[in-house]
């Protein structure tokens, strides 16, 4: 790791937070750690003024030629997932990848790496808002929408914004070990490793037609979540056949009725676990419609990738 050069990419309409995370991790000198720390530099991904979110104008000291000597390249969130990055940038990234440089992306920065062709056949992640678009545009990728970050060795991708910190700390852990990564996390006042994935932060699905029968059924189920429901009972409530309900529900929400019901019950459980006055876990399971603590724990972990107890400790209003 001696003289390992980390290069952060800057571009017009730069995502300030993601860029700041990279700078905070790698630009500060850390002599107290007793390890050869990184060299850090910023290069401009394109000519002209670089304007960042928040009204900041950035003067990058290097051009894309620096990528030829970078050991690690980090791409903050790209300014527009629908905009094709400059061809010269894509060529430089492909060349860096072919010579063995490590490439990392935060949030929508994964679209830059995908456009460069260095992700083909790999498992990747991005912000949950972009996961479907990324998979549809690049079917040769395996998009893992729930992950905070995915390490494929030479290529590491992370989810939105703060998940970039998780990925960057993971890089430090890979390069220098857990003890050093833990000390860096302490200085940042963040956990060295977060349990779960970004599914615990994803909002509830909203039907495309908010005035139709499916939307009305969803509203009714939300207010009667503790009651038992089956496909036939839901179809009867919506005055449809089970087959029609299945089809229209998937068209409206992108998922089957039962999967939506389970996710809705998990969302209700999350709200109960966040309450200032904590309820017994058995009561949370009952009110959310799971019937038992075991069922609550199984579905909660499957969907949020963390346990109800851990979620309550992290987000509960009582801090318990």
- Whether the pLDDT of residue 213 is over 50: the answer is yes
- Whether the pLDDT of residue 189 is over 90: the answer is no
Q: Are strands 102-106 and 72-75 parallel, antiparallel or unpaired?
A: parallel
Per DSSP, the three-state class of 10 is: strand
Instruction: Report the alpha-carbon angle 60-105-34, nearest 5.
Output: 75
Per-residue pLDDT, 22: 95
- Whether the pLDDT of residue 202 is over 60: the answer is no
Q: Which residues make up the CATH 3.40.50.880 domain(s) of the chain? A: 5-200
Domain covering 5-200 assigned CATH 3.40.50.410 in the classification: no
Q: Which residues make up the CATH 1.10.10.60 domain(s) of the chain? A: 203-315
- Whether the pLDDT of residue 258 is over 80: the answer is yes
**Is 297 or 302 the better-scoring residue by pLDDT?**
297
Encode pLDDT of 89-114 as tens digits. 999 999 999 999 999 999 999 999 99
Residues in the chain: 320
How far is 310 from 320, CA to CA, in rounded Å? 10
- Whether the pLDDT of residue 294 is over 90: the answer is yes
Residue 120, number of CB atoms within 10 A of its CB: 9
Per-residue pLDDT, 205: 53
- Whether the pLDDT of residue 181 is over 90: the answer is no
* pLDDT, mean over the chain: 88
How far is 170 from 191, CA to CA, in rounded Å? 12
E strands present in 144-204: 149-151, 155-158
Cβ pair 308, 274 in contact under 8 A? no
Cβ pair 200, 269 in contact under 8 A? no
Cβ pair 106, 265 in contact under 8 A? no
- Whether the pLDDT of residue 319 is over 50: the answer is no
| CATH topology for the 203-315 domain | Arc Repressor Mutant, subunit A (1.10.10)
Sheet with 102-106, strands from edge to edge, namely 39-44, 5-10, 72-75, 102-106, 155-158, 149-151
- Whether the pLDDT of residue 1 is over 70: the answer is no
**Is 35 or 178 the better-scoring residue by pLDDT?**
35
Q: Token pair for residue 298?
A: 């199984």
- Whether the pLDDT of residue 195 is over 60: the answer is no
Global pTM?
0.65
């Amino acid at each position: 790791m001696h003289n390992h050069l980390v290069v952060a990419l800057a571009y017009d309409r730069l995502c300030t937070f993601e860029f700041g995370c990279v700078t905070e991790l790698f630009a500060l000198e850390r002599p107290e750690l007793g390890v050869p720390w990184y060299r850090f530099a910023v290069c401009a991904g394109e000519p002209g003024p670089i304007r960042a979110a928040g009204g900041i104008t950035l003067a990058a000291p290097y051009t894309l030629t620096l990528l030829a000597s970078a050991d690690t390249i980090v791409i903050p969130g790209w300014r527009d997932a629908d905009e094709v990055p400059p061809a010269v940038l894509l060529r430089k990234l492909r060349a860096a990848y072919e010579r063995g440089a490590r490439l990392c992306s935060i949030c929508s920065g994964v679209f830059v790496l995908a456009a460069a062709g260095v992700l083909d056949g790999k498992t990747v992640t991005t912000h949950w808002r972009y996961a479907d678009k990324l998979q549809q545009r690049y079917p040769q990728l395996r998009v893992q929408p729930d992950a905070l970050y995915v390490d494929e060795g030479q290529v590491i991708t992370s989810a939105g914004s703060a998940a970039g910190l998780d990925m960057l700390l993971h890089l430090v852990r890979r390069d220098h070990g857990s003890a050093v990564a833990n000390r860096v996390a302490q200085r940042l006042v963040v956990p060295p490793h977060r349990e779960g994935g970004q599914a615990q932060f994803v909002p509830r699905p909203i039907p495309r037609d908010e005035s139709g029968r499916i939307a009305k059924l969803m509203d009714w189920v939300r207010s009667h979540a503790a009651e038992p429901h089956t496909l036939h009972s839901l179809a009867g409530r919506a005055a449809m056949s089970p087959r029609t309900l299945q089809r229209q529900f998937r068209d409206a929400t992108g998922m089957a009725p039962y999967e939506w019901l389970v996710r809705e019950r998990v969302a209700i459980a999350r709200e109960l676990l966040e309450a200032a006055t904590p309820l017994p876990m058995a009561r949370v399971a009952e009110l959310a419609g799971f019937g038992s603590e075991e069922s609550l724990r199984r579905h909660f972990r499957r969907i949020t990738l963390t346990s109800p107890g851990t979620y309550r400790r992290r987000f509960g209003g009582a801090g318990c």
